[in-house]
Amino acid sequence: MKNKKGLAILMRTRMKTSTDPSRLPLLPLTGKVNQMLTDAKGNAFDTSVPQAAAEEAQGPTKLNPPADSTSYRDFDAVRESMHSAISLNKAEVLDVVLDDFSEGYFSLSFENRRKLLITLAQVYDLNRAQVRDLIKQYLGLELPGGNASESSTVDEEAMLSCFYRVERNLRQVLKPAYEVLFERLNNRPGGLKFLSIFRADVLSILAEENIASLRALDSYLKEKLNTWLSPAALELHQITWDDPASLLEKIVAYEAVHPISNLLDLKRRLGVGRRCFGYLHPAIRGEPLIFIEVALLRNVAQTIQEVLWDTPPIPESEATCALFYSISSTQESTWESFLSNVSLNWLKERCPIYLESFPGKSGMDVMLKLLTSTKFEWISSPELLSALKPPLMRLCARYLLEEKKRGKALDSVANFHLQNGAMIERINWMADRSEKGLRQSGGIMVNYIYRVERIDECAHSYFSTGHIHASNDIRRYTLVIYSHKDQKITLPCSN
């Protein structure tokens, strides 16, 4: 039974391939499905399956195109089905039209999807001529007076009726036509999932090109999704090895922080001393919108290896803290590290041999080349590790504490924890030596601490003033020590 379940997870993970992986972000899942899992002995599983098995495992949903499809639907046909999905009012044909549109959308090339989304944003936007006319009518209405006579009251009621009528009409024309499409898709099975993928494509386009009309569409759709995905409609579920293989496959595929390397790794994350919780929505069955992984430990870990590696878990009765080490969203949706003016001579004194392989005009150039080298040679050199640690730890602290957007932490993970009442406790050097950890953060990891007695205080001050609570150990990294002759001067690190 266990082998069958493991094979099912692997089969599902491997089957969901896109028609053109380099161009089509069909699903948040498809960017990761080619990742090969191995068994506990490091052997690759044979994941080839018959077509019939693939179709059965894929289920009845019509959102995904056939895995072996290489043909694209004609753009004009999909655009016409989109128009029908917005304009038709016959209930008996709407389901067919919406099915046709969703299937057609996923069959489009990425460029045609882009073209279709821009068409939707521009052609089916609100009618601004009507908006202007109604605003002129509204501004031309006379406000009711304050006379309390009976005749005045009748006149005031008539005036107010005019206000109410124009306001009602104004509310209607302020709704873009594409709202109809969003509402109708949300009301059909699988529609909410489609819309989340739909928005992922919008964000992908906006990341490359700032199109005002498309950004307005994204903002409108985001508001709709916030309403439809209200926490009141979500169910918190503890995910265990006893859950269906289809659900566990999602955990393997969507894990965004620390990739799951094999089935043994997956079982460990769901076993003794570990917890995994997910929020599920009734409209997206069998797939958590977000899930979090937790380790029960004696002490706060300083490296991710303490959590993920083969060390046997402690008895849960001996745990004193719960470490939330991974939070992943299954529905899509950086800040490049700020390298200060590190002295080139400072690096030359400590690591001259590496400057020959990574030349640069400044210390910043050299550090950037070192940190972005594909083989990460720098982590094998004690001299380089020693030389890079002080500036990188300071830069990390500065980034977390001082770099902000609209008064809140620029880093999205930091913002998430801080708004929930956490404080920044510790920065850990070389805590994640995986390729992903080195590529994303130079191996540095951060501990956010939730102290029960201070959660409300920290959350309130962060929301109201943007103040970030941090330990003294963190704040000392934002101080720069300059040596002048025999004196040391400590100054705040600021612009």
For position 146, what pLDDT does the model report?
54
Whole-number Cα distances in Å, 369 to 348, 352, 377, 440, 447: 15, 15, 11, 14, 27
Distance CA 468, CA 461 (A): 8
Distance CA 97, CA 90 (A): 10
For position 145, what pLDDT does the model report?
64
3-state class of 78 per DSSP? helix
Distance CA 450, CA 447 (A): 10
Query: Identity (one letter) of the amino acid at 249?
Result: E
- The maximal CA–CA distance of the chain, rounded, in angstroms, is 95
For position 117, what pLDDT does the model report?
96
Tell me which residue of 405, 411, 407 sits closest to 446, measured CA to CA: 411
Chunk the chain into consecutive blocks of 10 residues (it has 495) and report each block's average pLDDT, rounded to whole numbers.
Answer: 61 46 34 33 34 34 39 83 90 86 92 94 93 92 64 74 91 93 91 90 92 94 86 84 89 86 88 89 83 88 81 84 83 40 44 51 68 80 83 89 90 90 92 86 90 91 93 80 43 38
Helices (H) and strands (E) in the chain — how many of each? 21, 10
Q: Which two tokens stand for residue 428?
A: 């850990």
Q: By the 8 A CB rule, do 290 and 278 touch? A: yes
Q: Name the H helices within 142-280.
A: 150-173, 178-186, 191-208, 212-228, 245-254, 263-269
Count Cα neighbours of 387 within 13 Å in the Cβ-side half-sphere: 25
Query: Identity (one letter) of the amino acid at 290?
Result: I
Q: How many CB atoms lie within 10 A of CB 182?
A: 21
For position 26, what pLDDT does the model report?
37
Count Cα neighbours of 330 within 13 Å in the Cβ-side half-sphere: 24
Whole-number Cα distances in Å, 345 to 355, 361, 362, 363, 390: 11, 11, 9, 8, 15
Tell me which residue of 394, 411, 409, 413 sits closest to 481, measured CA to CA: 394
User: Does pTM top 0.85 for this prediction?
Assistant: no
Q: By the 8 A CB rule, do 198 and 114 touch? A: no
Q: By the 8 A CB rule, do 329 and 289 touch? A: yes
Q: By the 8 A CB rule, do 234 and 279 touch? A: yes
Per DSSP (E only), the strands in 416-455 are 423-428, 445-449
| DSSP codes of every residue in 20-52 | STTT----TTTTTTTPPPB-TTSPBP-----HH
Distance CA 411, CA 427 (A): 14
Residue length of the chain: 495
Write the CB contacts of 82 (distance below 8 Å, at least 6 apart in sequence): 101, 105, 116, 120, 181
Distance CA 327, CA 414 (A): 12
Distance CA 301, CA 318 (A): 15
Query: Identity (one letter) of the amino acid at 158?
Result: A
Which phi and psi (to 5°) does residue 427 adopt?
-105, 130
Determine the straight-line distance between the first and last CA of the chain, rounded to whole angstroms.
61
Write the CB contacts of 85 (distance below 8 Å, at least 6 apart in sequence): 94, 97, 98, 101, 181, 184, 185
3-state class of 406 per DSSP? coil
For position 69, what pLDDT does the model report?
40
356 by Cβ neighbours in 10 Å (0-12 / 13-18 / 19+) ranks as exposed
- ∠ CA 248-289-239, rounded to 5°: 35
- ∠ CA 425-315-279, rounded to 5°: 60
Which phi and psi (to 5°) does residue 103 adopt?
-65, -40
